[in-house]
Amino acid sequence: MDDLKNLNEDQQKQLLFMMLVQQHQQIGMMGLGKIKNPTTDQIDRDLGSAKYAIDTLNALAEYTDGNLPIELKSYLDQSLINLRLNYADEVKKEDSISGKSSKEKVQGETESFEAKKD
């Protein structure tokens, strides 16, 4: 963190924002089984944690819309695109193994959400 001392306040905030995005991107990639979990030193696939990371970054993108410099917006957008494409691939793999279609899975999640609302 000594690097922050050499930056002005705006640059520090931009770096911290990028680090936040990177942390969630790494959480997502760990959940997708694309990188090792540094705590366990193993590849652990957990699509729920990957979805949480994607949803968190998506919320961040929505709340910061129109307030980010182009470089940060581009970094956040690219991170989301990368995670979403990898997530879709992993869901497709899971569906082919379980024999359940993505449409059935989404419909089940929607029905579960609707039941919770009532």
Residue extents of the structural domains in the chain? 2-117
Query: Which pLDDT score is estimated for 100?
Result: 66
Residues of the chain with confidence (pLDDT) below 50: 109-110, 112-114, 116-118
Query: Which pLDDT score is estimated for 105?
Result: 54
CA separation for the pair 5, 18 (Å, rounded):
17
SS3 42: strand
Query: Which pLDDT score is estimated for 11?
Result: 93
Query: Which pLDDT score is estimated for 109?
Result: 47
Query: Which pLDDT score is estimated for 22?
Result: 98
Query: Which pLDDT score is estimated for 95?
Result: 84
